[in-house]
Structure 1
Amino acid sequence: MTIEEQRPAGRDDTGGGAATDLSRARGALSGLAIGDALGMPTQSLSRQRIVARYGERLAGFAAGEADQPIAPNLPAGSVTDDTEQAMLVGRLLVAGHGHIDPGTLAAELLAWEAGMAARGSLDLLGPSTKRAVAAVQAGVPVDQAGRYGDTNGAAMRIAPVGVAVPANDLPALIDRVVEASAVSHNTGVALAAASAVAAAVSAGMAGAGMAEATGQAVAAARLGAERGYWIAGADIASRIEWATDLVRGLTPAAAAERVYRLVGTSVASTESVPAAFAVLAVYPDDPWQAVLLAASLGGDCDTIAAMAGAIAGAVHGIESFPTTAVDTVRDVNNLDLDRLAGQLLDLREAGRPVRTTKV
């Protein structure tokens, strides 16, 4: 199926204003999963290798090839650790009525990895999370376990916090980000990155367009950088502003090359999070094209596409993605994203009880 054949009909390009709250919540979770699944076969590959195999931009979901270093032979539409850990965070938010206990999160992440390893998966915990969980197991206090975590593991799984928590009080939102992140990523760099993604999702949930959501992300990143332990690294807020300016006016192909070569697409928070916002600056009104481009960048492009998809889905709603794409990630991975979206939305809406149905 080509890009044009998959383009959704009746897409709202006005910045998300026509979408309902539930549509935005569903869009954030489905957008994350769609971006992740698109980037599954291209993750850890160079941009040159992706272009040679798939063209300048992916046309849709593809299976993991036998030589895929992390996801060999996975069916087209399969998600990776990005979606699975985000759903884990979402379930813990619901169980904790909007709060996450860091010790419980560490235990759940450890159990998740054990389950993945038992299934023969190579897509396990990232370097910062693995180091922190091992530290917790060894008796290190949870507030110290993540003091060196500077990669994008917190940012990749933070979207449910953005769905569940309003962004009109940024310090309060960042408190929730820290709850969901500090056990593995308790550094100013990583917390700034996760705050940026959560704030952009939350702003989209409130009806913001992409430019406003990006502005909220920058403001949140500045506040998030003041939390946690200091570690050397570029300023996330400044990098987001720079990366989005860097691609302005470029063709998608030229923008992709510039992001790949200058912004960077590694697991570093200082690269992958600004890269996601740069892609959204190229396609501010077309979430499907944005995640296709993000998944074609190379490097940690499944995570970049997942973050971009979550933000774009929150801004524009689930209708902005092709129905076939939404159905594919749900059916291939047996994901009940709609139920979790509703539960997270209940947390957001003051005065409404949390649904008691299990995720």
Structure 2
Amino acid sequence: MPTESLPRAEVVARYGEVVDRFHPGARDQPVAPGLPAGTVTDDTEQAVLLGELLVESGGGFDPAEFGRRLLAWEGALRARGAHGLLGPSTRRAVAALAAGADPVEAGRDGTTNGAAMRIAPAGVAVADPDALLELVVRVCTPTHGTGVAIAGAAAVAAAVSAGIDGATVAEATAHAVGAARRGAGRGRWVAAADVAARIEWATGLVAGLAPSRAVEVIGALVGTGLATQESVPAAFAVLATAGEDPWLTCRLAASLGGDTDTVAAMAGAVAGACHGTAGLPDAAMATVAEVNGLPLDRLAADLLALRGPIR
């Protein structure tokens, strides 16, 4: 949250080469000024919306209802003075859905990382890879119906699902590459770099690098912008750098500059799935629970209870 939309140089100047802990949003934070340390961002809140819808529907997904919930969520936050919470692809799509557009048409131009940033609950809820891909496509289509966006979301969801089944970070990344290859062919084609190939390239790029150097390389070469083909490979490069340390994963992602909250949401979801709460500081988890008041423990339990083929 405190580093979102800041350049890497500014992150280093304020928080050091690698962010050490939760910090409050500074007064001049461009997206989250003055928010308390440990406050989650829109990525987590949208993931909660998706997770709750999956639980309520027993693993189903109603695109129109999800669009309504996104609009209601943003409206409530706007009333409290927050702005700019929906990304460009999601904003266009939910406006079209609200006007009665066909869900397939509403998201036909969505290429950014909004679907990948909130897809983790699908990976928690569904174990079967084929069923998971079908659910990812259904969740993406109303807002992010392009092959590149579906590939990115499929990668994150598959890695989360594999982690829950006991995969290491490296094994989960292999699942992500395979799912991205399959997902790329499920949406409308647009000119964009191949997500699967870029995940493989990005994870190889940081091999053997010290964390502070890897962060610089990821920002300069992989990219940390809204584009799916930047931020999703960046998340897996962060995972490769941090290895089996989920808290370092989150801190490295927060240190990148750019769309840090989204990269951290994706990388943190995979690391958390692979390690559970054991790899995270008790104090950090307590802060998130206290500051945000979100039903994360209950939602996680409900999604795990749901885990299985979609119905």
Q: TM-score range by the shorter chain?
A: over 0.9
* Aligned twin of 1:163: 124
Q: So what's the TM-score if we normalise by structure 2?
A: 0.98
Alignment length (residue pairs): 309
Question: Is 1:73 aligned with 2:34?
Answer: yes
Code of the aligned partner of 1:165: V
| Aligned with residue 196 of structure 1, among 151, 155, 175 | 155
Which whole-Å deviations, capped at 9, do the CAs of 1:253-296 have from their partners, x for residues lacking one? 11011000000000110101000000000112101011101100
* Aligned twin of 1:238: 197
Q: CA deviation at 1:171?
A: 2.5
* Aligned twin of 1:7: none
Question: Is 1:151 aligned with 2:112?
Answer: yes
Q: CA deviation at 1:146?
A: 0.4
Q: CA deviation at 1:137?
A: 2.3
Gaps of 5+ in 1: 1-39, 351-359
Code of the aligned partner of 1:153: G
Q: Distance in 2 between the 1:136 and 1:209 partners?
A: 39
* Aligned twin of 2:297: 338
Q: CA deviation at 1:231?
A: 1.1
Kindly indicate whether structure 1 or structure 2 has the higher relative contact order, using CA contacts under 8 Å at least 6 residues apart. 1
Q: CA deviation at 1:177?
A: 0.7
| Aligned with residue 273 of structure 1, among 229, 232, 236 | 232
Q: Distance in 2 between the 1:222 and 1:180 partners?
A: 18
* Aligned twin of 2:222: 263
* Aligned twin of 2:183: 224
Which whole-Å deviations, capped at 9, do the CAs of 1:32-57 have from their partners, x for residues lacking one? xxxxxxxx000000000100111101
Matches within 5 A, 1:1-359: 40-166=1-127, 169-348=128-307
What percent identity do the matched residue pairs reach? Answer: 61
- Conserved in 2, the CA contact under 8 Å of 1:85 and 1:157? yes
Which whole-Å deviations, capped at 9, do the CAs of 1:130-174 have from their partners, x for residues lacking one? 0111112233211110011000000000000000000xx422211
* Aligned twin of 1:30: none
Q: Distance in 2 between the 1:71 and 1:178 partners?
A: 31
Q: Distance in 1 between the 2:308 and 2:66 partners?
A: 24
With over 3 angstroms needed to count, the CA separation of the structure-2 counterparts of 1:349 and 1:174, relative to structure 1, is: closer
Q: Distance in 2 between the 1:50 and 1:118 partners?
A: 29
Q: So what's the TM-score if we normalise by structure 1?
A: 0.85
Q: CA deviation at 1:232?
A: 1.2
* Aligned twin of 1:37: none
Code of the aligned partner of 2:257: G
Q: Which moved more, 1:54-63 or 1:116-125?
A: 116-125
